[in-house]
Amino acid sequence: MSTEGLSMGTRAETARPFQVLGLQQVAIGALDKQRLRRLWVDLLGLTLSGHFRSASENVEEDICTLGIGPQAVEVDLMQPIDADARPAVHSPALNHIGLWVDDLPAAVHWLSEQGMRFAPGGIRRGAAGHDVCFIHPKGNEAAPIGGEGVLIELVQAPAEVVAWFKGLALPSSPFKP
């Protein structure tokens, strides 16, 4: 496939003061998370590593782990506390993805300056204990850039995760992020 004519980035992107390091989580919702647990834990073998409940976020979730160490990915199995309340964590079923970032405050500040719309709540402590912030699925008049239909969670990577991902970029490494 030819890339001729495709823009490979803008000047503003080169001044980005943060880096997306990798996938932190995938959040899946249903009206009954027991069916999700049967699939993801009992049948597929993910490790059940925690639970989280938040009335203000209308969520009861099981936190599962896929992989080990800094490259482990959370698979969050969510159900609404109240199926008629918002946010509706079960709809769509693939609720959101989470991305590790190396500097969450810088990311939120810079992306806001670029016109990114964030969901209400700002930077706050997430279910797994990391600081998080959500990019709204849709832009609006005040902030025209959104997640193009996807709710995206930006997650502050802890120091060991930042070090692991940045270690992939060492000249001697065969892996380049």
Q: What is the pTM of this model?
A: 0.80
Q: Does the residue 106 lie in any domain?
A: yes
Give domain status of residue 13, yes or no. Answer: no
Total domains present in the chain: 1
Say if 130 falls within a structural domain: yes
Domain CATH code at residue 141: 3.10.180.10
| Residue 46 confidence (pLDDT) above 60 | yes
Taking residues 127-131, report their average pLDDT.
93
Domain extent, residue 146, equals 18-167
Long-range CB contacts (within 8 A, 24+) of 105-108? 106/17, 106/18, 107/17, 107/18, 107/133, 107/154, 108/133, 108/154
Is the residue at 71 inside a domain? yes
